[in-house]
Structure 1
């Protein structure tokens, strides 16, 4: 801001004239002229700047700008490549690791002399081939031919691992026969298929509901024999259907008035059961009797021995 006279309002002929002069002093630029307004950055302005470069051709739309930039790149590209080449020669090998040829640099390059490594470092690696070219050390190696590692021996061929895909097939689909023991295996398969068919047939065919008979003739004949025996014993089997107290009563086995036996088989069964019970009781009674006799004998022997001991003691006391 310029020098502002604080008494400009006081020295003015009128108050309005003083205010006008004061405003003019505030707007006056120190270098002369009015203060410029700041430039506003708009979206349109930025889009125009972006459009200066063609994103497809990677060139400036303005030919003059493009020529200036191109000239600057041409003057600096040689310097950049030389600096990169010096760095590569300083940090990397002085020969191409693929072609084994010496790298040719610029005029200031120092001549590199290859120093052969001792034999212990020739094979100092975990692989037996060159990891760049994939060739063996006997074909591709930095050492001379007479100092390169020998060619590794070929590994013994392993036996082929048989899987479901490469396993030899047992059946030839062209001849429709087995490769080994065709007749025996075909007969065995036929018998097994016949057994499965028969088993499935009899699983669903046991009794014919239309003819009311079994499909198997032997089973039907056995069933008919069973029914005949059942009809013959129908009377005795009817007694088993009665209540237990009535079925086991003796009045159904013989007539208590006339003594005529009606069911000799069941009567004999009851008599045999009673006899077995009596024999069991008789044996138990005989055993108890023998135990009593043996107990009495043991008691008498014990008493006689006690009496004899007392007599001996009495005699000894009288003698003294």
Structure 2
């Protein structure tokens, strides 16, 4: 039986056997853990470089980590110097390997008997303490200063290429080239904008002279514009000449139409009014006050027309009663109406004899507004193409 206070069996032999089995199991677990540690970690101590395999049978501890064959490759050197960097002692004195396996060196010297290849980046051409070159220090120092200046200038140009305050480039040559490019781009932009302008803007007068200072830039262009404006005014003037002639013709036509309508009225319609001898509205005697005679006149008798044809002149009655548009060619000929320079020539035709109309041919020599009495109606003039206004419009 076991005793809880003592922590063992009351039987000594049984308690000893049980303790022996527990110790064997503990050692077995510790050895297994040690083996795993040796397999997973370095086979030597990283502090004192002592081997963890001392007293154990097996291979060299370095061969456990570099078991892969190095065919065609150099092995990793143990160190770059031939002494221990911690104790500054030679490898023959202080080294983690067995004395027989340590690097062979001469007594009192730290140089190897055979040269070893080391990485080039580990070799320095200057003293790391005095920072002086081992050979040609002055020349190399000057070269290094010039290289540093060039590198600093390149970095400055890359970072500070343009000065935002002065609006200039750090490099004068680059600044001059950029100015030339900017001027060329600005010139191209202006030319493209001018090429896209419509003709009404390209040909304006302010492009050839300054509106503020009145400075003329292109006298020939301004002269051409003035000539074109004068010619345009002349063309416009013809319009008003034509309109004035048409107006005079319309007025004359109105007079002719009115005369025709009034001549169509019989004179007998007003005869009764004048036979009374007085005005029925004002009761004024016609012997005291001459009455207003009507426009229609009494028709000429057959005897008067015969006398007129024989004598070759018109009677007073026919001259006052008939308008000149009904005048015969033989009796009147090419007569000019009062107040007008337009001559009228009439020619009877078959249609005119049937319908009582006459075909008129007008030859225009001038046009003025008629100033004669209402019974003398001028022939309407044709439009003129001359540059002068008619006398009727001038007056």
Look at both structures and tell me which one has the larger radius of gyration over its CA atoms. Answer: 2
Bigger share in helix? 1
TM-score normalized by the length of structure 1: 0.25
TM-score normalized by the length of structure 2: 0.21
